[in-house]
Amino acid sequence: DVKVTQSSRYLVKRTGEKVFLECVQDMDHENMFWYRQDPGLGLRLIYFSYDVKMKEKGDIPEGYSVSREKKERFSLILESASTNQTSMYLCASRWDRMNTEAFFGQGTRLTVV
């Protein structure tokens, strides 16, 4: 079974803190993604990575950065957390073949106070 694991299920951080969200996959997937999910807005792509050290901005990259030093791990970094970054964060990974689906982690509910 494919496993995508996010480091925390729930996280509470203070405004201005630097926050790291970690995601690890065990299937040697080339592509990895970070989304945030908000009611009524669906899943919005923050960043994605198509290979080690390679990344591309998604639709809402402002206030976020990412790191992919190893193929299995993709980290999302909030440089200075703000209350409007309170959200559910979902990590996903997939092989880069045409018809393969993405597998998702269980999500991290981040609250910034």
Partner 1 sequence: AQKITQTQPGMFVQEKEAVTLDCTYDTSDPSYGLFWYKQPSSGEMIFLIYQGSYDQQNATEGRYSLNFQKARKSANLVISASQLGDSAMYFCAMREDTDKLIFGTGTRLQVFP
For partner 1, the binding residues (CB under 8 A) are: 31, 33, 35, 40-45, 48, 50, 56, 58-59, 88, 90, 92, 94, 96, 98-99, 101-104, 106-107
Q: Contact 48/32 with Cβ under 8 angstroms?
A: yes
CB of residue 15 to partner 1, shortest distance in Å: 26
Q: In angstroms, what is the minimal distance from the CB of 20 to partner 1? A: 21
Please give the Cα distance from 71 to 28 (Å, whole number): 7
Question: Nearest distance from residue 80's CB to partner 1, in Å?
Answer: 26
Q: Judge whether 111 and 11 are in contact, CB under 8 Å.
A: yes
DSSP secondary structure code for residue 101 in this structure: P
